[in-house]
Each structure stands twice: as C-alpha cells, then as structure tokens.
Amino acid sequence: MDQHRRRGRRTAAALAAMALTLTLAACDALPGLPGSGPDDGASSPTVADPMDPDAVAAAESTPVDPSWLCRPGEVEPPVDSSAGGTLTPQTVRADGNALEVSGSFHLEAGHRYRGFAPVGVLVPVDPENRGAPAPGFEGELGIEGAPTPPIVVRERVEVPGDGPTPSAVIARLTLGTCDDSPLPDGQFLLRLTGGGVDGPGRGEDDAGWSASGDVLVDVVDGGAEVVPGAVTAASGEVPVDLSPLQCGARLAPLGDGDELAVAVAEPTTSVSTLVPKDELGVSVTAEVTVTSPDLGTRALFQGVVLTHPGTGTVVAGARNAPTVSLQWIGEDGVSRTGRAWTSRGACGPDALRAGKYQAHAFAVTVDGDGATRLVLSDPWAVQVVEERNEESGEGEVQEPS
C-alpha cells in the first residue's frame, strides 16, 4: 500500500480530532482562575479563544538554529525556564517532516502571554518502554557531554501576541537532522517547551512553558507518523477494553480489525489432563504473528484463547487487563508465542475437563479514535484427553506444583 495514502488516512483522522479538541477548548474558555488578586502581586492571566488552525497552517515558518543540540555545550539552550505555563497535548498531525501538536494551554499566575514560540526536541525511545527516552537521553540535552538527538527542529511557526492567553495552542514544527540527512526511521518522543512568556514582575527575565508529557512520534520511510489512539503514554501502555476475552464472554471480533491480520503456526491440537512431573501445567500454544500494511507503533496484544464449541464462550486463556503495551510493527510483523493454560486458571473449574474445544489466536489493538479492536484467526480444534496417573491409578487432573 502506498505510504502517502496511509499517511493521508492518519492525517485525516488527526485533523478531525484536532478540530473537535479546539471546539471543546473554546467552550471551556474562562476568565482568570479564582483566588488571585492584588495581594498576589499579579492577577491570573485572562483566557482568550483558541488559536485559529487555518491561520497557523497558512503562516510562514521561521528558521531555527539547532546548534545547541548539534554541538552540545557550545551554544546556550533557547529557554532558561519552563515553569511559567503548561501545554497539555491532545492531538497530533504529521505530514512528511511537518509536525503539529495541539492542546489546551495554561499560564501560571503572575505570568504574561507575549506570544507562542515552540521549542521541540526529539529523542529515541527506550526499547523496553515505548513511553520513556532511550538510555542516555533521559537527562538535560544541549549541555556538555549530552548526546546529539538524531532528529532536530529546523523551522517553526511563531505566533505573536500580547494580551489574553489562548485557551488552546498549536505547535507547528518542521523536522530535520544536524547534517541534513533524511529522517531516520524509528520511534521517538517529542519534548515540547517554549518561550514568549514574561515572568512575574515587570522587567524580569523571560519565562517559558513546557508540555505536560512527551508526545509519541514515529518515522516510517523518512516521514513522520502519528501513533493511532495515543498522543502521550508515559508508561508505554494505553487503555484497552478486553471484556470480549473475559471468562464466559462470547468470543467475537470487535470492530473492523483496523487492517491487522493474524496468522498461526505450530498450534497445539491435543493436550492431556495429566500434568507431567516437574511441569507448571499443560497449555495450548501457538506462534501468533500479527501484520499490518501500516508500519510503525501500534497498541498490540496477542495470544491464544479457548472456547466451548457449543456456546462460543471463553473457557481458557481469558484475559482481563486495563492497558496494553505499544509495539513497533515492521514489515515482518510481530510474532509471539501465545499460551492458554488448560490445567490451571481455566474458567469455572481450575482445569478443563476432557472433551473437544475450539482455539483462536487473537490480536487486540486501539484505533485512531482510541476504540479497542479485536481480530481473530481462523479457529482450530483442540482435544483435551483424559489420562490416568499410572503410579496412583487415578484419572483425575493433578493440581500444578
């Protein structure tokens, strides 16, 4: 599938979400926060309408000198303080090397809005946690001894202002590299800060603002991509609805599958009720591979589940978790060994009785709107065979050690 078409689908979804967010932000616009007055030395900043997305999109970008990142320790960072306000990222739009982040904006009491000048730093992610920076990039950047990020900001849209604070803002950035090479593919976190804010008291040094969390960004085939259903994720996980996989639930696909495909290799077709000595238990396993035409980071959880053939309800391998991790799906997809225990932890009794069951491999993801999608493989038959313990002469299922 053409990369530009895939980016177009994600861009359209992100634009719709951004328009909704800005509309809601306009409805929430209030005058300054209560509790401040003459005794505070300065009143809370008044709140204005959100920034106009069309005006930001049509504005010319201003070149940015990334020397402070490309030559750490030789150039002063552009923002000394970022405690004057907070941007809460809510939507992301990506197109090639252009990136837009929008969200609600709040200034602390005593600060004055002088305009909006975003500063962005992109760092690679920790391979063990999609929501955290890679080792070496956790600390302050741009200082002596700090690593050089693989992606820097080359241009930005600056919005002038002197008056009420916008209730929602848009940070538009153009990405590049220190040596003008193509953007490297991979997973990145965007740390947003900015200036254009006066600190408390007249004549004081300029203050700044920071984002409430790092924004998730992918680069695929040299172009920036958003992460479907996730803007920020400090834990590397996002909320998900696994109710269709709970004990007793009737197993059925959820949603349109979001273009994921599930394949099964080496599935178990027969298991014993007898637990071998020194084993934790008996389970139905399969190699589960999930692929997608859209490469990049997705919320992804995969495994194996067993159902009763008569009712279609889950009897083993049930799942019930509030979040799933974010994973990179490459050209070869993601392969995991799925497991459904039959000798312990089954629904109802502790172990499955002898009989015929159906098994499915499954994949769970989250779409661009944050809705859970459940994709199932074709089913296969699994026989649970009653076997007797030759030493005891008993045929009952043994408890795991």
Q: Answer yes or no: is pLDDT of 4 > 70.
A: no
pLDDT tens, position by position, 170-197: 999 999 999 999 999 999 999 999 987 8
Return the ∠ at Cα 190 (arms to 110 and 85), rounded to 5°: 5
Give pTM, 2 decimals: 0.82
CA dihedral 131, 175, 368, 238 (to 10 degrees): 10
Q: Rounded CA gap, 12 and 14, in Å?
A: 5
Domain range summary for the chain, segments of one domain joined by +? 3-227, 238-385
3-state secondary structure of 325: strand
Residue found under tokens 């834990």: 235
Return the ∠ at Cα 215 (arms to 220 and 144), rounded to 5°: 95
Q: Which residues contact 208 (CB under 8 A, 6 or more apart)?
A: 79, 80, 81, 82, 83, 84, 85, 119, 193, 194, 195, 196, 197
pLDDT tens, position by position, 185-243: 999 999 999 987 877 755 455 678 999 999 999 999 999 999 999 999 999 999 999 99
Nearest to 3 by CA among 93, 92, 95, 91: 95
Q: How many CA atoms lie within 13 A of 143 on its CB side?
A: 8
3-state secondary structure of 258: helix
CATH architecture of 238-385: Sandwich (2.60)
Distance of CA 181 to the CA centre of its chain: 27
